Amino acid sequence: MLALAAAATLIGAHPAPAPTILFVGNSFTFGALSAVWKYRADTVTDLNGHGVGGVPALFKLFAEQAGLDYQVSLETSPGAGLEWHWRNKAALVDRPWDHVVLQSYSTLDPEKPGDPASLITYSGRFATLFAARNPKVDISLTATWSRPDQTYKATGAWHGKPIQRMALDLRQAYDRAAAQSRPRAEVNPVGQAFNCAIAGGIADPNPYDGTSYGQVDLWAYDHYHASKFGSYLAALTVFARVTGKDPRQLGRDERAASELGIAPETAARLQTAAWQAVQGQDCGGGAKG
């Protein structure tokens, strides 16, 4: 009788729903100007209905290959910081989520580059919003990469500084925002993953003078957005931080790399750079967190 009851329980049982994850960001999240933009858009839910795949779709595929199942949604708008999303899209994303990944404007404040005030304010407001729906929500902030156009051009806010510096400055700002949010957020060290790729000789640090033989360009043709290599690296970093999985286990034959035309050796080396950043290794200019 006990065996029959147990069997009946198993037959009637329903598998636990897949955890949900929401990505909120801008063109850096949706992979503008690269093949990642519309990549596998049918595998994720674009809450704005724009048919975006981007970094969220890469995350989804990495998770599947690691034996994980996530319901992936995104809300993105070009050129938008978190303040814009709060003022225009808060009602749209106000629902229970298991994980939320927030990414703000690339210089923090377009009018005052490097100023973290808006990031701190609006990441905190979003954290409170999401925690009210799910007190156990995992919130992370994606610290983005150095922009060559802000580093090498005379008009750039980081002109004259090493290419790694902007990413480290952004990381410090995101650390402040994460520490002040309630619940406390984590940080996805994407900018430092770019630094690790440069330090490891995978990526050319200066796209303005061409790309050296055997290296890749992490940036799109505008030297601002990410190329397919940069978006791939960004997604690997978020995947590693959110899931705790070592992205190197995806291996040389990882499916997204193959579909995007990223060489197996390059894919493996970018996986290593992402893991180094998530592990807090010093890849030039000092490690964080």
Q: How much is the pTM?
A: 0.94
Q: Is 278's pLDDT higher than 50?
A: yes
- 213-222: average pLDDT: 98
- In terms of Cα–Cα distance, which of 270, 229, 227, 234 is closest to 250? 270
Residues ≥6 apart with Cβ < 8 Å to 134? 96, 97, 98
List of residues 6+ apart from 248 with CB closer than 8 A: 268, 271, 272, 275
Domains of the chain, first to last: 17-278 (3.40.50.1110)
- Quick one: pLDDT at residue 285? 56
In the structure encoding, which two tokens stand for residue 256, read together?
Answer: 């997204």
Residues 10-26: pLDDT tens digits? 555 677 899 999 999 99
Region 41-57: what's the mean pLDDT? 98
Query: Could you tell me what percent of the chain has a pLDDT over 90?
Result: 92
Closest to 60 (Cα-Cα) out of 230, 256, 227: 256
Tens digit of pLDDT for each residue in 62-110?
A: 999 999 999 999 999 999 999 999 999 999 999 999 999 999 999 999 9
- Per-residue pLDDT band at 34 (split at 50, 70, 90): very high
